Amino acid sequence: MSASQHVRLFDNASEARCKEASGKQYPVGGKCPAGMNYLALVLLTTLLLNGCSGMFFFPARHHVQTPDQLELNYQDIQLTAADGTELHAWLLPAAGLPQATILFLHGNAENISTHIQNVRWLPAAGYQVLLLDYRGFGNSEGAAELPEIFLDIDAALDWINTTPTVNGQPLFLLGQSIGASLMLYSATRHIDNPRLCGLISDAAFTRYSDITRHVARQSWLTWPLQYPLAWMMSNNYDPIDALAELDSLPILFFQSIDDQVIPYSNLSQLSAAHRGDNLQVSTTGPHTATFWQHQNRSVMLGFLRKHSCIDMNKTPLNNL
């Protein structure tokens, strides 16, 4: 087990559970002390037991809801990764003629049944969405690990590229938190896909070692270990290095100034590393709460319209 496979980010869902358990109220974007101490304990215990640095991925198997409970049409999609791992996804069809397909890569906790709240508005806006559960999440087999998780993203993109009802449309990738960080590296493997029109990155981090050090600093339990833990991280998949290969793709970067999980400084660093067309958007509110605000939805829709690289009005109907 490599150290790069493990460090758990304290995401919005974990924050909510912490507050519920503690019975206390915290301001928007505020830290839950009990949760951060728990995270530090996870990091410390895992390090002592097996030399790793906590959990990068914190999956949940149980689906708390299905899209129809949110009045959304959907299809269950079964995928197979190159190593044989069986994966599960949901396809949310667009209302009316689809303007594009969006592959959604969620954060490191829970599964698509909770993260669906962040993209449930897109079908009504004319976009169909494929929500992928990485290996170990929801109904997907296996255990979430790097670099194997990139095979899962490859499988989702292969499905989009070979499915007749989807493959004639513009394609965008949308990632949040670790999903955004995975997306930036994974996109380098698909840069030659002519239908890949752009990327939307919400709260990505620069390097796995940097986010490990940031998380370790949050508690006195792991503060002394921040540099040893960071040194254990692999730099083979760092998002900021991948950006040098993505000049041809436009990227929309979101980051909240209130984010207590991913430091706001990551926004300018990532944008500076991308020499192509990109837009930085500073938001407010908790981690990965970007699309709770309608103005951020409008910015994303504008980006999708501007950078659609296929004219849907000229696409043959048999490709739809």
pTM for this structure? 0.83
Predicted confidence at residue 167, as pLDDT, reads 78
Predicted confidence at residue 179, as pLDDT, reads 97
Band the pLDDT of 304: cuts 50, 70, 90.
very high
Band the pLDDT of 312: cuts 50, 70, 90.
low
pLDDT for 5 beyond 80: no
Calculate the CA dihedral of residues 215, 217, 219, 225 and round it to 10 degrees: 100
Mean of pLDDT over the chain:
83
Band the pLDDT of 22: cuts 50, 70, 90.
very low
Predicted confidence at residue 232, as pLDDT, reads 64
Could you give the CA distance from residue 179 to residue 107 in angstroms, rounded to a whole number? 5
Predicted confidence at residue 194, as pLDDT, reads 95
Could you give the CA distance from residue 233 to residue 312 in angstroms, rounded to a whole number? 43
Closest CA to 57 of 129, 158, 148, 130: 148
Predicted confidence at residue 102, as pLDDT, reads 98
Q: At what angle do helices 33-50 and 208-216 cross, to 10 degrees?
A: 120
- Residue 124: count other Cβ atoms within 10 Å of its Cβ: 12
What whole-number percentage of the chain has pLDDT above 90? 67
Report the Cα 214 to chain-centroid distance in Å.
19
| Architecture of the 60-206+234-319 domain | 3-Layer(aba) Sandwich (3.40)
pLDDT for 14 beyond 60: no
Predicted confidence at residue 313, as pLDDT, reads 57
Which pLDDT tens digit goes with each residue over 102-140? 999 999 999 999 999 999 999 999 999 999 999 999 999
Predicted confidence at residue 56, as pLDDT, reads 77
Predicted confidence at residue 230, as pLDDT, reads 57
**Side chain identity at 221, as an amino acid letter?**
L
- Residue 227: count other Cβ atoms within 10 Å of its Cβ: 12
Q: What average pLDDT does range 23-40 have in this prediction?
A: 43
Question: Which residue bears the tokens 């998380």?
Answer: 215
Q: What average pLDDT does range 60-68 have in this prediction?
A: 97
Domain ranges in the chain? 60-206+234-319
Predicted confidence at residue 113, as pLDDT, reads 98
Predicted confidence at residue 215, as pLDDT, reads 72
User: What does the H/E/C string look like for the chain?
Assistant: CCHHHCCCCCCHHHHHHHHHHHCCCCCCCCCCHHHHHHHHHHHHHHHHHHCCCCCCCEECCCCCCCHHHHCCCCEEEEEECCCCCEEEEEEECCCCCCCEEEEEECCCEECHHHHHHHCCCCHHHCEEEEEEECCCCCCCCCCCCCCCHHHHHHHHHHHHHHCCCCCCCCEEEEEECHHHHHHHHHHCCCCCCCCEEEEEEECCCCCHHHHHHHHHCCCCCCHHHHHHHHHCCCCCCCHHHHHHHCCCCCEEEEEECCCCCCCCHHHHHHHHHCCCCEEEEEECCCCCCHHHCHHHHHHHHHHHHHCCCCCHHHCCHHHC
Which pLDDT tens digit goes with each residue over 231-285? 566 678 999 999 999 999 999 999 999 999 999 999 999 999 999 999 999 999 9
Could you give the CA distance from residue 266 to residue 271 in angstroms, rounded to a whole number? 8
Band the pLDDT of 1: cuts 50, 70, 90.
very low
Q: Which residue has the higher pLDDT, 288 or 220?
A: 288
